[in-house]
Amino acid sequence: MSKYDVAVIGSGPGGYVAAIRCAQLGMKTAIIEKYHSLGGTCLNVGCIPSKALLDSSHHYDDAMKHFEEHGIEIPGEIKINFEKMIARKKQVVDTTCDGVQYLMKKNEIDVFTGMGSFVDATHIKIDGEKSETIEAANTIIATGSKPGSLPFITLDKERVITSTEALSLKEIPKHLIVIGGGVIGLELGQVYKRLGAEVTVIEYMDRITPAMDKTLSKELMKVLKKQQVKFHLSHAVNKVERNGDAVKVTAKNKKGEDVVFEGDYCLVAVGRRPYTDQLNATAAGVKINERGQVEVNEQMQTNVPNIYAVGDVVRGIMLAHKAEEEGVFVAEVLAGQQPHINYNLIPNVVYTWPEVASVGKTEEELIAAGIAFKAGSFPMRALGRSRASGDVDGLVKILADTTTDEVLGVHIIGARAADLIAEAVTAMEFRASAEDIARMSHAHPTYAEAVKEAALAATADRALHV
């Protein structure tokens, strides 16, 4: 029987990064993945394929709507070859997943393909093409998450679908009904809207992306409405029916009336659930809490001392970079180090266009906590860079402590917000004041100038270009 210092179950961003860091720190490491392709949800059916389709559909949208204003004329009709778009997405995924395979080899990590399940706290059975058992002094559970649903919905995965199927459709829907105005619903909704589908988003709460700062939710909805995405807020879906190629979704509005939506596809995007289904955690004595998460302490350690867990399968926001931080954290704990994760500074991004990105506290959270703050905003349309590219929608909002001027939250909607947020994370990690950011030189012309201007506005209402 092969023996390891560490076995990692699951090869998503939490698992494969944990494995690499363990190997870097000199531990004999194995990784177990049920699929042949490494990389987990993120690389196979999450972050990477969704961004590939967002980028492809963005190019099409630009060609259809914006080339002309730049003086670019395309003789003949611009057409979508959807099969090719999906094939390109697959190629991007395959190349990225092969990269993980390469990294495992480079770091001398043994890869086992098959479903991993605990025999006891130090033995894991792997059921793949053959069945084998390995021994591990320590195990890291990184089994991730699966799409969630609602109790009354039958996901037939043809017409009533999750994000996984939405990333590999055979045709562009005529009318895509999206249940859930969260990040998946909006990203994939925008993909199909750009490709010509009618898109209707039904959201239970009174705003989209409910966890984000309200200013961003409002601004994003305004922009998406301009792009003809339809929204029905404060609607609770209570029935989804399929009849041949048609789907019918019924939701209760605020007045308690049933509202019926008819389309040809329904994307269910109401959150994801931790995945431990076939792990046999009880055989190792590992506690799963009432939310289905593997329960961990501050060291990411389960109730069984030699078993740890990271990523979507534990508490906290379900993001690839959060999973990665936790993967590195556990490896360093196992090596006797004292690592640290600043959960307040895990940035959150929605890859619509304009992109939405935020870090730190929202205005609503600061109000609820009774923290006195000042807010400074700057509109993207006031930037020379935005006018040059034509990306004028959006704004940057900076929240700073009234007394100390320390930056407490940065909220951005606009072109390349996903990249701009890194400056805010860096500044906040070093506990910068709004004035610190305001006094740093930002290259001209860039979108980043909006961050400087919002910081000037937060410092003492002294933005220069509004």
Q: Which residues are catalytic?
A: 444
Q: Residue 411: left if φ>0, alpha if ψ -120 to 50, beta else—which one?
A: beta
Q: What is the DSSP letter of 37?
A: S
- Number of residues engaging ligand NAD in binding (CB under 6 A): 26
Which range in 83-91, 107-115, 343-351, 372-380 contacts ligand NAD by CB under 6 A?
A: 343-351
Which range in 15-23, 79-87, 189-197, 267-275 contacts ligand NAD by CB under 6 A?
A: 267-275
What order do you get walking across the sheet with 160-161 strand by strand?
160-161, 265-268, 175-179, 198-202, 230-232
**Structure tokens given for 44:** 């196979």
Length of the chain (residues): 466
User: According to CB under 6 A, which residues from 170 to 229 bind ligand NAD?
Assistant: 179-185, 187, 202-205, 210
Q: Are 30 and 7 in contact (CB under 8 A)?
A: yes
Which x/- pattern over 303-342 shows residues binding ligand NAD (rule: CB under 6 A)?
--------------xxx-----------------------
Instruction: List the one residue out of 100, 81, 77 whose CA is nearest residue 89.
Output: 81
Which range in 68-76, 313-321, 372-380, 446-454 contacts ligand FAD by CB under 6 A?
A: 313-321
Q: Please select the residue that binds ligand FAD; options are 6, 19, 142, 221, rule is CB under 6 A.
A: 142
User: According to CB under 6 A, which residues from 186 to 245 bind ligand FAD?
Assistant: none
Q: Please select the residue that binds ligand NAD; options are 38, 53, 176, 349, rule is CB under 6 A.
A: 349
**Is residue 261 near ligand NAD by the rule CB under 6 A?**
no
Residue closer to ligand FAD (CB basis): 40 or 173: 40
User: According to CB under 6 A, which residues from 4 to 33 bind ligand FAD?
Assistant: 9-15, 32-33
User: According to CB under 6 A, which residues from 269 to 298 bind ligand NAD?
Assistant: 269-272
Q: Are 432 and 407 in contact (CB under 8 A)?
A: yes
What order do you get walking across the sheet with 407-414 strand by strand?
348-350, 355-360, 407-414, 395-401, 373-379
Which range in 196-204, 305-313, 334-342, 394-402 contacts ligand FAD by CB under 6 A?
A: 305-313
Pairing mode of beta strands 123-127, 115-120: antiparallel
Q: Are 463 and 383 in contact (CB under 8 A)?
A: no
> Measured at the alpha carbon of residue 436, what is the angle toward residues 435 and 441, in degrees to the nearest 5?
105
Query: Measured from the CB of residue 221, what is the shortest distance to ligand NAD in angstroms?
Result: 12
Which x/- pattern over 360-399 shows residues binding ligand FAD (rule: CB under 6 A)?
----------------------------------------
User: According to CB under 6 A, which residues from 65 to 124 bind ligand FAD?
Assistant: 115-117
Q: Are 351 and 51 in contact (CB under 8 A)?
A: yes
For ligand NAD, which residue has the nearest CB?
182
Q: How far apart are the first and last CA of the chain?
A: 69
- Number of residues engaging ligand FAD in binding (CB under 6 A): 38
Distance CA 309, CA 358 (A): 26
Residue closer to ligand NAD (CB basis): 28 or 207: 207
Query: Measured from the CB of residue 202, what is the shortest distance to ligand NAD in angstroms?
Result: 5
DSSP 110-164: EEEESEEEEEETTEEEEESSSEEEEEEEEEEE---EEE---TT----SSSEE-HH
Contact footprint for ligand FAD (CB under 6 A): 9-15, 32-35, 40-42, 46-47, 50, 115-117, 142-145, 163, 184, 275, 278-279, 311-313, 318-321, 323, 351
Contact footprint for ligand NAD (CB under 6 A): 150, 179-185, 187, 202-205, 210, 236-237, 269-272, 317-319, 349-351
